[in-house]
Amino acid sequence: MAEVQETAEGVKKTHCSNCGAELRYKPGTTELTCDYCSTQNTIDESAIEIREKELHDYLSKGTEDAGTEKVTNVECESCGALNPFKGTSVGRTCLFCGGHLLMDSAKETEQIKPQALIPFQINHRDGIERYKKWLHSLWFAPNDLKKMQNLPDKLKGVYIPFWTFDADTFTIYQGKRGVNRTKTESYTVTVDGKTERRTRTKTVTDWYPASGQVKHFFDDELVLANTALPTDITMKLHPWNLKQLVPFDHDYLRGFLVESYNVNLDEGFEIGKQQITDQIRVLVKRDIGGDKQRIISMNTQWDNLTFKHILLPIYVSTYRYKGKVYRFLINGQSGEVRGERPYSFWKIFFLVLAILAVGGLLFMLFGSQGA
């Protein structure tokens, strides 16, 4: 059986009963594994049920009785990320932008506890291979960017915080339905000094009043709860199979980092509400029908609002290139890859020159034949 030790910082470490080394979670399994002697310790299946929490109740109470915990983080002055505090070094670099962090700026805050998480399914070695493959696939990337593949320590497995929201919506709308029809019209042209009358067809739209109602239940609308990662890239790491969520257990965090949220619950709901509203507009247009649609007004009733605070596994690589920060992300469940990258001006420049040269050569060849 594994031995548990509580450190001076209050973090429990699980040690191998065989050699005493710290055990780590093995991605894709339900086991803690020793890196040195391969001893395995099964993570007990939790009997806790993952339940949605009533949103308005939490928003009205604030942190009171909200199931909170105190966490210590170091906020990066460059990107605002809340880096987990380790308390073992004077300074280190930010996980998300590479900026320098000072440990004496660590702050303790009270946050809602995560209710569930998706354990890592992709291991670090596989993540490195996907990282290298992505680097080599980049067209017009600077040559020295490929050197990044030799820095596996740049790729960190991090559990990133998200909010999920459920909502029953009932929307009454007013709009217009556009129906296209083909219209034939005549016009005159002058050819060789003579006037000719011709006809042509064009598409016109007739608009009719439209009104109705749309009812829809939104389940687990996902909202990124941290601004350290670019939202546009992070949200493209879908799909997430949220059916693989398991009750929160510290054992799944062994060997990985955990990022705290800096988008509070009320802020997260406003983002989620806008995301849902955008989807309601799509449903309303579908209900209006016709060839084109115009929405004049929408009045939505929101009921049964609930939320969860969850952690999702993402491998993060951050590097600076010529003073600018770029991020590379891997979905730790599916292996989906997204990233930012620099472009080589000279590669693009010479490609344009080559295209122009080939175009000029073809013009000379075919142009001389036509003459």
**Is residue 275 one of the residues assigned to a domain?**
yes
Residues 236 and 114 in one domain: yes
- What distance lies between CA 103 and its chain's CA centroid? 28
One domain for residues 157 and 9: no
Q: Tell me if 20 sits within 8 A of 43, measured CB to CB.
A: no
38 and 54 share a domain? no
Q: How far apart are CA 327 and CA 316, in angstroms?
A: 7
The confidence score (pLDDT) of residue 361 equals 65
Q: In terms of domains, do 163 and 36 share one?
A: no
Q: Is residue 366 part of a domain?
A: no
Q: How many distinct helices (H) and strands (E) make up the chain?
A: 5, 19
Q: Which domain holds residue 289?
A: 45-172+211-340
199 assigned to some structural domain: no
**Quick one: tokens of 254?**
């062994």
What is the reported pLDDT for 11?
40
Q: Which two tokens stand for residue 249?
A: 């257990």
Between residues 95 and 32, the one the model is more confident about = 32
pTM of the predicted structure, to 2 decimals: 0.80
Residue (of 243, 257, 273) closest to 163 by Cα position: 273
Q: Are residues 14 and 63 in the same domain?
A: no
Number of domains in the chain: 2
In a domain, 183, yes or no: no
pLDDT category at 23 given cuts 50, 70, 90 is confident
Q: What is the pLDDT of residue 62?
A: 61
What tokens appear for 227 in the block?
A: 């601004």
Task: Give residue for tokens 């997204």.
Answer: 338
Mean pLDDT, rounded, for 195-201: 88
* Residue 226 to residue 311: CA distance in whole angstroms: 11
Q: What is the mean pLDDT of residues 44-51?
A: 86
Same domain? For 61 and 27 the reply is no
Q: What would the DSSP string read from start to end of 63-92?
A: TTTS-EEEEEEEE-TTT--EEEP-SS-SEE
pLDDT at 5: 34
Q: Are residues 144 and 230 in the same domain?
A: yes
Q: Is the pLDDT of residue 129 over 50?
A: yes
pLDDT score for 122: 93
Compute the distance between CA of residue 245 and CA of residue 243 in angstroms, rounded to an integer: 5
What are the CA-CA distances from residue 8 to residues 88, 95, 295 (Å)? 11, 24, 60
Residues 36 and 51 placed together within one structural domain of the fold: no
Q: For residue 352, is it within any domain?
A: no
> What local confidence, expressed as pLDDT, does residue 9 receive?
34
**46: region left, alpha or beta (phi > 0 left; psi from -120 to 50 alpha):** beta
Local confidence band at 103 (pLDDT 50, 70, 90 cut-offs): low
Task: Work out the percent of the chain whose per-residue pLDDT is above 90.
Answer: 40
One domain, residues 33 and 113:
no
Same domain, 236 and 324: yes
Query: Is the distance from CB of 145 to CB of 53 less than 8 angstroms?
Result: no
Question: Could you give the CA distance from residue 309 to residue 121 in angstroms, rounded to a whole number?
Answer: 20
315 and 336 housed in the same domain: yes
pLDDT tens digits, 288-322: 999 999 999 999 999 999 999 999 999 998 766 66
